[in-house]
Chains A and B, each alone.
Chain A
Amino acid sequence: MCLLLGVGYVLVLRLAAAVAGPNGGQAEVAVLDGRVVGAANVGQVFTDPRYFWGRPSAVDCNGAGSGGSNKATTNPEYLAEVEQRVEAFLEAHPYLLRGEVPSEMVTASGSGLDPDISPRGARVQVRRVAEARGLDPAVVQHLVDSLAVRPWLGMFGTEKVNVLKLNVALEALQPAATR
């Protein structure tokens, strides 16, 4: 029994991964200018105004020790923390009204490694990124739209934008010398 499951079953899956997995069984990676800059499905920290930012993480996007905040939505300490994030977000995006801050940009994800934000979460950042890079906001917005992933089969689930892929595309937009 041990052999059948421990060896047979595992080997079949390992072979399947080598043949059909996106990266031969390893975590998929994102590449910029021939250099690996991250795992495509794992969130990373972005703080530079030239980049789109991902969601807050309770573990600083530690890919070797995932975790959420596990704070209750009624915990006063936690609510104060969210309030601080809202204020910091508004400071970085002075053109936004308070009611336009999407909640997912100020609440920590479950895994601490959420690679995605909602298209709305990206849209509110477009002007800041465009200004920091000296790009036309319409161009940046177009890029966001082209990378937004529709719900599965166009019908089921949420719409999302992968932050890392978006930033990679953003870098690729400008020639390396002018970055």
Chain B
Amino acid sequence: MNTEILGVVLQWVLLVGLSYPLGRYIAKVYKGERTWLDFMAPIERWVYKRCGINPEQEMDWKQFLKALLMVNLFWFVWGMVLLVCQGWLPLNPDGNAGQTPDQAFNTCISFMVNCNLQHYSGESGLTYFTQLFVIMLFQFVTAACGMAAFAGVLKAMAGKTTKTIGNFWVFMTRSVTRILMPLSLVVGILLIVNGTPMSFDGKQTLTTMEGATQEISQGPTAAIVPIKQLGTNGGGYFGVNSSHPLENPNAFTNILECWSILILPMAMVFALGFYLKRRKLAAWIYGVMLVAYTTGIVISVAQEMGGSRQIDQMGIAQDMGSMEGKEVRIGSAASAMWGMTTTVTSNGSVNSMHDSQTPVSGMLQMLNMQINCWFGGVGVGFMNYYAFLIIAVFISGLMVGRTPEFLGKKVEAREMKIATLVVLLHPFVILVGTALASGLAAARPELAAAWLNNPSFHGFGEMLYEYTSSAANNGSGFEGLSDNTPFWNISTGIVLILSRYFPIVGQVAIAGLLASKKYVPESAGTLKIDTATFSMMTFAVIIIVAALAFFPALTLGPIADYLTF
């Protein structure tokens, strides 16, 4: 069998196989049970003490959200200041300048909301200091925030009737010390052994074999790559992210990095099952997500390995598949696999240029982000699915004439309103943003010429992708778009804020509201949610609500692109 396909299969097996034990471990961490990483406890106590946190304190959902938003605000200010002033700060051997305020605003927001949209190139737009103390710290903090919110929702779902949903600070600290940091260390060391740089020296200047001068950017890359993947952040150290040969040196590191993208979101679903002692429910949720994810992979891999139809018409040999924007050591199959993996989560790192992939792959990538709940970002991914679950419960409850109940709690008007708003916000910001940008581009052709790298349908796709990626907090891009302009920096910045904080607040609120309700024991009249029928129902709700809303836009973009000759 083709070794490229075997690589993809191995990747898939490693993901599915290891997510189960890791899920069990995560459930233990959030329950506070004993694990083999208990030696981290003194460090955690030290953190609590220094920050004046009382780990015993229980929060209700409003206090919980307040803590979450406070932490975000603090880091936002910190990041803005450092980015604008980076030119004067230490650890800047390459003498890079500070960012402009609108760019710093976009960078800061985008890393804050776990999106990592990058309107700059890592080699020249940041210094080692800001790489570590803004980018890397944010990548830890935001991932931990998402995981803490997830842990809060878990606790709310597990409780019979409760006002409190746990302590945000404790969940957040544990996410870092017990999950993110240990895993990052392991991945980082493996990357270093394979040749990813980790130093504080400036660029290497070399003379090539033909006598030209070549500068090689390097730096503390191996510290950032693991957390960028594990925290579903995706902001690359270098401008071209993991397609850079120093960021991703060979086939093994490619598998390792791609594994790191999805392993935590996958494990989170199992963690839910272990935490709630509802493993069957978790298995069904996992199943629905896995089927959707795998379907995407199969189609995209086939498309990329099959090569570009237009190149084929030139009569040259396309044995390696469509290779524009891809790397030989990675190959077209693993590039397609990565494209799907990075868009089902909110990761957004890339190992090939998505702009240059075939139209069908581009469409699937957008669709994954538009649906935004096949696994999703660490923590928040499941919570998007949770909003759909609530809606599915409500609709099916009405269809069969039973009171809509979710895990023993009645779903009523207030929760439904929030869930509907959360679900509809996503298409709203994407489509309005794209409409605004295309309206401007149509009215003023010189703008279109400055923004877009490709004409016609694909150019529209570049704009649609940018807003989709912002709203899904993904951060990958059709990078042909010249997006470092005040218009794009600010408009995507606003989309980023709206679509990170509204859903997270809404979902925690639903969980909090449900938790405080009276527990109704399951009876024969209860709608069973851990069955194939209900899973298909949820799947249908997701497709109808999320996917169909985007179909007209997709038709104008990648579908039309595919049909052109």
Listed stretches A37-45, A126-134, A135-143; interface member: A37-45
Chain B: interface size category: 35 or more
A118 at interface by CB-CB < 8 Å? yes
* Among A21, A108, A111, residue most surrounded by chain B Cβ atoms (within 10 Å): A111
Question: Does B299 sit within 8 A of A, measured CB to CB?
Answer: no
Q: Is there a chain A Cβ closer than 8 Å to B209's Cβ?
A: yes
Known: A38-B208, A64-B123. A21 touches B243 (CB 8 A): no
Nearest-Cβ distance from residue A117 to partner chain B, whole angstroms:
6
Residue ID in chain A nearest B357 by CB atoms:
A73
Q: How large is the interface on A (under 10, 10 to 19, 20 to 34, 35 or more residues)?
A: 35 or more
A14–B219 CA distance with the chains assembled, in angstroms: 10
Query: Of B6, B195, B218, B461, which is within 8 A of A155 by CB?
Result: B6
Residue of A at shortest CB range from B78?
A2
9-residue interface stretch from B197-205, B267-275, B397-405, B436-444: B197-205
Closest B residue, CB atoms, query A109: B327
Instruction: Give the docked Cα–Cα distance between A103 and B304 (Å).
Output: 13
Interface-central residue, A82, A110, A160, by most chain B CB under 10 Å: A110
Q: Given the known inter-chain contacts A14-B199, A79-B310, A157-B4, please indicate yes or no for A71 contacting B324, CB distance below 8 A.
A: yes
Residue ID in chain A nearest B46 by CB atoms: A4
| A5 to B458 Cα, complex, angstroms | 41
Across-interface contacts of B544 in A (CB, < 8 A): none
- The residues of B that contact A118 with a CB separation of less than 8 Å are 319-320, 328
Chain A residues with CB under 8 A of B310: 73-74, 79
With a cutoff of 8 Å between Cβ atoms, the chain B residues found around residue A51 in the complex are: 209-210
Q: Within the complex, which residue of A5, A67, A77 is in contact with B181, where a contact is CB–CB below 8 Å?
A: A5
A70-B480, A111-B327 in contact; A16/B7 too (CB < 8 A)? no
In the complex, what's the smallest C-beta–C-beta distance from A179 to chain B, in angstroms? 11
B216 touches A39 (CB 8 A): yes
Chain A residues near B189: list those with CB within 8 A: 13, 16, 20
With a CB–CB cut-off of 8 A, which chain B residues contact A120? 317, 319
Q: How far is the CA of A10 from the CA of B223 in the complex (A)?
A: 6
B314, A83: Cβ atoms under 8 Å?
Answer: yes
Give Cα A152–Cα B319 distance, bound, in whole angstroms: 19
CB contact between B328 and one of A9, A20, A22, A104 (< 8 Å): that residue: A104
The answer to the question of B351 belonging to the interface, with a C-beta cut-off of 8 Å to chain A, is: yes
Known A38-B208, A83-B314: A70·B356 in contact at CB below 8 Å: yes
3 A-B pairs with the lowest CB-CB distances in the bound complex, closest first: A157-B251, A70-B480, A17-B198
A: which residues have CB within 8 A of B?
A: 1-2, 4-6, 9-10, 12-14, 16-17, 20-29, 32, 35-48, 51, 55, 61-79, 82-83, 86, 98-104, 106-118, 120-121, 151-152, 155-160, 164, 167-168, 171
